[in-house]
Amino acid sequence: MIKFDVFSRFSGAVQFTSEIEVSDKDLSSVQLGLAVRWAVKNDANLRGANLIGANLSDADLRGANLSGANLRGANLSGANLSGANLSGANLYCANLSGANGINDYVKCIQIERYSITYTADILQIGCKRHLISEWADFDDHRIAEMDGKDALKFWRKYKAWILQTIEMCPAKPTVYVRPEAEI
């Protein structure tokens, strides 16, 4: 067992210290993911935590208060987000593939072979993640580049329905931080 500190996104101060079992070979993303799992089990405060790049795949985050947390680049694939508070959270570049638990901030749909997850700004279909506005503007060539003619057939069939669903059932905004390269 080691003690692992998780810091505040805003002040940089230690927010909580977890006790996790890790090996020397575990990546920092795995250690941070284990610390978050420890925090959920021990009712530690995750609000505003700096969780950049945390590996939270398949994590049970039901009811967790992640408001204001920085989850940029976090792996949330397969995570259960039922009832999680993600208000003000930074989900930019987070992997939401297969995340479940529809809530106000992350919506999930499964159609045929693709899991579809979206936030107020981002739409992820399978492993491809882009701004919703970019998906709406993609031409057939761009879609076919993603996963061949299967993706193009899927997109032609469901594009209007997916975009209409997002419009009719929007996710509440979290925080979208535009990368410096796009500014």
Q: What is the mean pLDDT of residues 134-145?
A: 95
Asked whether the beta carbons of 179 and 121 are under 8 A apart, the reply is no
pLDDT > 70: percent of the chain: 95
**How far is 125 from 135, CA to CA, in rounded Å?**
10
Domain count, the chain: 1
Q: Name which residue leads in pLDDT, 177 or 139.
A: 139
Instruction: Give tens-digit pLDDT for 76-92.
Output: 988 998 888 888 888 88
- Determine the pLDDT at residue 70: 94
The pLDDT, as a whole number, for residue 179 is 54
pLDDT of residue 55: 95
CA 59/CA 62 separation, integer angstroms: 9
Q: How many residues does the chain have?
A: 183
Range of the domain at 30: 2-182
Q: Tokens standing for 139?
A: 């031409």
Q: How far from 164 is each of 17, 44, 48, 174, CA to CA, in Å? A: 44, 38, 32, 20
